[in-house]
Amino acid sequence: MLILNIALSVSLAATSTLAECADPPCMIRMGLWKQEPPAENAYVNSALRNFNRFAANPAFKMGADVGRNLNRIAGANAMAIMNHYDQAYYANISFGTPPQQTVVQIDTGSAAFWIGSKACNDVKNCNDLYPFDSSKSSTFMNISSGKPSNVTYGAGSIGGVMASDVMNWGSFTIPKQQFILVDYEDPTIFYQQNGTVSGLVGFAYQGGLQPTVSAMGYYETPIYSMVRMGMISQPLFSIWLNGSTTGGIQTMNGGEVIIGGVDPARYNGDIMYYPIVNVSKSYFWMVEITNVQIVGTLDATKPTAPLSITPLNLTTTYGLMDSGTSLITIDPNFYTLQLLPTLQKKSVGKPVTLTTDLNTGYTRVACTDAQRLPSIAMTFGGKGVSGSQPSFEITWQDYVLSDAQGCYLGFQAMNMKNTGEGNPVWIFGDVFLRKVFTVYDFGNGGRVGLAYAANTGKAFGVPLNAQSIPDVPSVKVDNATASTSKKSAAATAAGGWSFAATSAMLVCTIFALA
């Protein structure tokens, strides 16, 4: 699943680090690298020069050691993945014999694994970085039996043939990994690829280790292949995402995908596990949201000032963890009728002005007002989860982002009730996943683990010269209790897609159609 905010003048850079896994099955650590946004968006030539500089580096192609100690987990292995504008995360994977480099997006919200073909790019039907040339691989196999393979997202589609080939990812070698060799990208995907990424690798739950074939189809993902071949000690993976903090180009420490386990150094406290809901045939990493609260303060200049906690009215609502989504998408009714008004009301001082552009879906806020916004705390639960559960809180520093036009909230309204079988669905994308370490467990009946991430940087947010300390207001503390209010809600229109462009950003909303 993708919710991508793609700058029109972006370049990518990737490198890889290869190491040996001493005694399979083992746990493998995949390092994440990143490239952040520049201060301006109108610098295509400069961005391309930067990319070409990194692409020409032998370490980019050969996977030289990045110099980070990986010894704290037995068999750990770092492999380069990059943070693209704090909006997407990419991995460097090779295919074929001899190996050909590809750069793919890591996406926990979909399952298909696809790579653009050289033939498609040669005739300008695809627009990919490092397209795959099947004619140069001695181990490539077309396994389509003459049947085309098509993937339709909420916005955009690709088509091609089912194939298999040797895949190398870190110390893993999968002899016959299945993927779609793409021979067509529709205009949305073509523009989105922008010559900066080769394709996408999906990691959706798909019903678990004994998957149920749904209308979205079933794909043998690399994780499934690793479990089937006994390559990893536990049928799970975990993700730690880092933010850019200051902007500019950074090539280290963008985050990690850890396959086969978790790294205690990447989270604080205990991991809380929540069962995957039996909705949409359990295709997604989706859990129940039980409570949403706005947590404000009377004085932004005093960390010890009393808090004002305001619970919001929440019907049965699900949360979908999706590394392929840039922002947090929220049910439109909840977003416009509850969240935005309460953020304004509970801001420090006079209400902050929030303006939503109906064309782009962005909610804008003056950068100088951003730090007056309150925090948002979310609690998760589900069948079999008992006792008091911790809330996961995101502050204005987590959810306020910036671009050439100013500051905006890292949220968008989206109706996903089709996916929730009539109930609202929120998509927790990178805005949330940078704050919360996530575990994706195919075992134990299928569950998602959450804990506050450790040692992460913020996304490129409010420029320092735009921050100000607000006036201290005279407001009575709201002593509302932290409770959840449930009420019935009629299902409204089905989920869909939105597509809009501004002078600085292309906003695409893409999700697999059920």
Burial class (CB in 10 A: 0-12, 13-18, 19+), 460: buried
Residue that is written with structure tokens 């919710």 in the block:
3
Strands, E assignment, 78-169: 81-84, 88-95, 100-107, 113-116, 141-142, 148-152, 157-169
Question: Count of CB atoms within 10 A of residue 67's CB?
Answer: 8
The answer to whether 110 and 285 have CB atoms below 8 angstroms apart is no
The answer to whether residue 369 is catalytic is no
Catalytic pick among 86, 183, 322, 441: 322
Q: What is the 3-state secondary structure (H, E, C) of 365-425?
A: ECHHHHHHCCEEEEEEECCCCCCCCCEEEECHHHHEEEECCEEEECEEECCCCCCCCCCCE
How far apart are the C-alpha atoms of 302 and 305, rounded to whole Å? Answer: 5
How far apart are the C-alpha atoms of 217 and 318, rounded to whole Å? Answer: 22
Q: What is the 3-state secondary structure (H, E, C) of 458-506?
A: CCCCCCHHHCCCCCCCCCCCCCCCCCCECCCCCCCCCCCCCEEECCCEE
Which amino acid is residue 75, in one-letter code? G
- For residue 339, how many C-alpha atoms fall within 13 Å in the half-sphere facing its CB? 24
The answer to whether 160 and 149 have CB atoms below 8 angstroms apart is yes
Residue that is written with structure tokens 């896994």 in the block:
21
Catalytic pick among 107, 331, 403, 441: 107
CA 258 to chain centre: 15
Question: Count of CB atoms within 10 A of residue 230's CB?
Answer: 9
Burial class (CB in 10 A: 0-12, 13-18, 19+), 390: middle
Residues whose CB is less than 8 angstroms from the CB of residue 211 and which lie 6 or more positions away in sequence, other chains included: 218, 224
- Asked if the bond preceding 25 is cis, omega within 30° of 0, the reply is yes
Residues whose CB is less than 8 angstroms from the CB of residue 247 and which lie 6 or more positions away in sequence, other chains included: 36, 37, 38, 39, 460
How far apart are the C-alpha atoms of 374 and 394, rounded to whole Å? Answer: 9
Classify 30 as helix, strand or coil.
Answer: strand
The C-alpha angle with vertex 46 and arms to 44 and 49, in degrees rounded to 5, equals: 110
Q: Which of 130, 185, 85 is nearest to 459 (CA)?
A: 85
- Asked if the bond preceding 98 is cis, omega within 30° of 0, the reply is yes
- For residue 164, how many C-alpha atoms fall within 13 Å in the half-sphere facing its CB? 14
The answer to whether residue 322 is catalytic is yes
**Residues annotated as part of the active site:** 107, 322
